[in-house]
Structure 1
Amino acid sequence: MLDLTQINQDFADKRPKDLIKYAIENHGKIAVSFSGAEDVILVDMATKIDPNVQVFCLDTGRLHAETYQFIEKVRKHYNIQIELMSPEQAALEAFSKEKGLFSFYEDGHKECCGVRKIAPLKRKLTTLDAWITGQRKDQSPGTRTEIALCEEDNFPGVGEVLYKYNPLANWTSAQVWEYIKIFDVPFNELHNQGYISIGCEPCTRPVLPNQHEREGRWWWEGGDHKECGLHAGNIIGKG
């Protein structure tokens, strides 16, 4: 078992790539979660440490065309394999048959995310000891303010001890974009169209000036808890 308190203290004033290096060196089965947005920084840092590091991305089947093009750009830019985790076909067909293609506008996004995101992620996590994510505290004031650099991930249904590393937890959006510009990191063209937080096409829209980035996600739903459940600590009202 890792001493999480000690790890978080040791890396509190270190660079994200130092934590990524530690994570890769201390876990035999670890992967970078790449969402097709700003966390391509993780890919940039991790592949400089280990060119063969596992990278995976959730392909919900409802991403923007620009996001699919971006994933391919990243694959070629870093000369890596990106494992696309897709929904289980039978479950997706049953869900679509019963609820249609846009049920989330009527009864919320959680059920659709469960089929298209949570189940594929769970399938991947059961093969890992740890994963590296791009979560940041400034992304969602209602749910992510307590993110630790390293934490035990009690992801529902995974079972074994799983560790989650959040190297960018203390970074701001401004720091992310400074890194992207300095190191000429590829980015999703949707960012040039006013998109900040990018998810599935039907559930994402550009934000207005001075709006928080999460206001572009599931905008038809009220409340501040704009999460899909990918991160166990962010699942609101689970059970």
Structure 2
Amino acid sequence: MTREEISELNKKFLNAGPIEVISYFLEKYDDKIALASSLGAEDQVLTQMILSVNNNARIFTLDTGRLFPETYDLIDRTNKRYKTKLEVYFPKSENVQKMVVQKGINLFYDSIENRKECCYNRKLEPLKRAFEGLDAWICGLRADQSVTRTDIQIVEWDENNNILKINPLANWSEKDVWDYIKENGIPYNPLHDKDFPSIGCQPCTRAVLEGEDIRAGRWYWENPDTKECGLHKK
């Protein structure tokens, strides 16, 4: 898809609601599009919206092997609530084993390079496998989530994966997300009620303090401008 075509799509959906965006792309790409869910609040909203449009739509998640118990429980609750089965992708055991033997089980605390290597083995490599056969993916990015996400658009080209990327909630606020969750009784991670607005791997996530940015608890030992694992790098 050309830049001009993407620009036209962003103009088309400038004032559109998320379900309108989702409906358009689910119809356009059929089984060649999927939601990549982290089980966060935004992705739980998108799960409900997507399955309300097409209950056979693909939704997958990545099990890094270091998730919170509450996250695993949410996978089960989501499947039961919506009578679906989230596809779960795992890291390649040989890659993780080699990394841990060479650099230690908690290598990510030692350097940004180590942390990115861990993110690659546990998240990016499985994501590439999940993308096989897809022409587009949906994710829950919002512009006000962090300093690394302020310029996101509803429709983008993911150069890393050579695939179209759809952000239906790009213009939503945190309040919009939680209002929708409450209005629709959507299951969510109970850690959100314990000051965890953004939840990833257990050793790399902490609760945020009053006044902190909502992503301050992710890779909390790093500077704000490095706090991405690579999934959403343009």
Amino acid at match of 1:190: L
Q: Which runs of 5+ in 1 are unaligned?
A: 234-239
CA distance, structure 2, for counterparts of residue 145 and residue 18 of structure 1: 22
Matching residue of 1:151:
156
Amino acid at match of 2:172: W
Matching residue of 1:133:
139
CA distance, structure 2, for counterparts of residue 220 and residue 145 of structure 1: 22
Matching residue of 2:225:
224
CA distance, structure 2, for counterparts of residue 14 and residue 225 of structure 1: 31
Quote how far apart the aligned CAs of 1:61 are. 0.4
CA distance, structure 1, for counterparts of residue 106 and residue 129 of structure 2: 25
| Residue 180, structure 1, aligned to residue 186, structure 2 | no
CA distance, structure 2, for counterparts of residue 70 and residue 221 of structure 1: 28
Deviations 1:177-202 (A, max 9, x none): 01001111111011111111100000
Q: Residue 112 of structure 1: which of 87, 110, 118 is its match?
A: 118
Q: Structure 1-normalised TM-score?
A: 0.92
Q: Is the contact made by 2:216 and 2:224 (CA closer than 8 Å) also made in structure 1?
A: no
Q: Is the contact made by 1:64 and 1:200 (CA closer than 8 Å) also made in structure 2?
A: yes
CA distance, structure 2, for counterparts of residue 220 and residue 21 of structure 1: 40
SS across alignment from 1:192: helix
Deviations 1:168-222 (A, max 9, x none): 0011111100100111111101111111110000000000111111110111112
CA distance, structure 1, for counterparts of residue 6 and residue 109 of structure 2: 40
Moved segments of 4+, more than 4 Å: none
Aligned length: 228
CA distance, structure 2, for counterparts of residue 187 and residue 149 of structure 1: 24
Q: Structure 2-normalised TM-score?
A: 0.94
CA distance, structure 2, for counterparts of residue 100 and residue 37 of structure 1: 28
RMSD over equivalenced CA pairs, Å: 1.1
Q: Is the contact made by 1:198 and 1:204 (CA closer than 8 Å) also made in structure 2?
A: yes
Amino acid at match of 1:44: Q
CA distance, structure 2, for counterparts of residue 101 and residue 139 of structure 1: 29
Of the structure 1 ranges 33-42 and 198-207, higher mean CA displacement relative to structure 2 is found in 33-42
| Residue 57, structure 1, aligned to residue 40, structure 2 | no
Amino acid at match of 2:192: H
| Residue 87, structure 1, aligned to residue 118, structure 2 | no
Q: Is the contact made by 1:113 and 1:228 (CA closer than 8 Å) also made in structure 2?
A: yes
Deviations 1:137-166 (A, max 9, x none): 11112x1111110111112xx4xx411100
Amino acid at match of 1:16: P
Deviations 1:19-52 (A, max 9, x none): 0001101113110111011111110000000000
Quote how far apart the aligned CAs of 1:71 are. 1.1
Amino acid at match of 1:181: K
Matching residue of 1:25:
27
Q: Which runs of 5+ in 2 are unaligned?
A: none
Q: Residue 9 of structure 1: which of 8, 11, 18 is its match?
A: 11
Sequence identity percentage: 43
Matching residue of 1:36:
39
Amino acid at match of 2:77: K
Q: Is the contact made by 1:32 and 1:131 (CA closer than 8 Å) also made in structure 2?
A: yes
